[in-house]
Amino acid sequence: MNISPVKNYNLSFCANNVNYLRSTIDGRRKYACCYTRMFRSDLDWNLLSYYLENKYKNAQKVNVLNAACSDGSEPYSLAMILDKKIPGGKKFFPIEAFDCSKLLIDDANNGIISLSPSDVDKFDYYNLDIDDYMKPSYESVYKRSEEGSIPYFVAPVLRNKVNFSCGDILSKLSKMDNKTPNTVLLCRNMIPYLSINEISELFKLINKKLGRNSAIIIGSYDLDRLGGYIDVKMRQINFKEADLFRGSLVYEN
């Protein structure tokens, strides 16, 4: 088994594939790429669940925020893995998931998600039965462009574990109480959409809003982009209260 960095993101893909372009509500950036995956493979989701289980074994309640949740694949992946692998996983729910794309959040709020065959395969990989969580639907919904991708209804047992809302990461974090303890912030593969000033603002907000025993989970793309600028910034910043869990490694057979 090797460990290798994942480089699965290609900017030209974003520009050329109209299915992946969605307008955003903030008006500053016209389009963002909403590419996502169920159990996106820049993260070992089993490792993440062990990490969270251990870190929060003495916590009564954990505040889980999923910024830039796209169509819901990411918060659902987390909810299922926590539900399955962590006894007493209830303290992590509901996950507060948000994205600045209203179109994606509207579908997510309606309990609909489109899955490709490779998304479906991931359920087996993580020993989960897709029938426990999702049923194929014939609703008209935003479809991923991969051949064979179809919409699913999310079962209430999973849907009820995630609250979806529309919003920008900076305004959402600004509204949080200062120093909220036991906070897990997933902000994965979205930092490159922020300007340099916004990235600085994000780091300031993280230090102000995340309290004792918090964690930030990032993605491979957050480290690759801008010629390593973000990675360098991440290394320079000592988050006061939060650990940084880097999702940039994946196990490959």
Binding site for ligand SAM (CB under 6 A): 24, 32-37, 40, 67-68, 70, 74, 99-101, 104, 168-169, 188-190, 193, 219
Comparison of 11 and 61: residue with beta carbon closer to ligand SAM: 11
Report in angstroms the alpha-carbon separations of 230 from 15, 41, 151, 172, 189: 22, 20, 35, 21, 11
Kind of pairing between the strands at 162-166 and 183-187:
unpaired
Half-sphere exposure of 49 (CA within 13 A, CB side): 19
- As measured in angstroms, the least distance from the Cβ of 119 to ligand SAM is 11
Comparison of 59 and 141: residue with beta carbon closer to ligand SAM: 141
- As measured in angstroms, the least distance from the Cβ of 24 to ligand SAM is 6
Burial class (CB in 10 A: 0-12, 13-18, 19+), 140: exposed
Comparison of 181 and 233: residue with beta carbon closer to ligand SAM: 233
Burial class (CB in 10 A: 0-12, 13-18, 19+), 120: middle
- As measured in angstroms, the least distance from the Cβ of 87 to ligand SAM is 27
Distance CA 99, CA 105 (A): 7
- As measured in angstroms, the least distance from the Cβ of 173 to ligand SAM is 10
Comparison of 86 and 97: residue with beta carbon closer to ligand SAM: 97
Residue 107: closest CA among 150, 153, 75: 153
Residue 68 contacts residue 190 (beta carbons within 8 Å)? yes
Distance CA 91, CA 71 (A): 23
- As measured in angstroms, the least distance from the Cβ of 176 to ligand SAM is 14
Comparison of 14 and 59: residue with beta carbon closer to ligand SAM: 14
- As measured in angstroms, the least distance from the Cβ of 66 to ligand SAM is 7
- One-letter amino acid at 172 equals K
Comparison of 44 and 59: residue with beta carbon closer to ligand SAM: 44
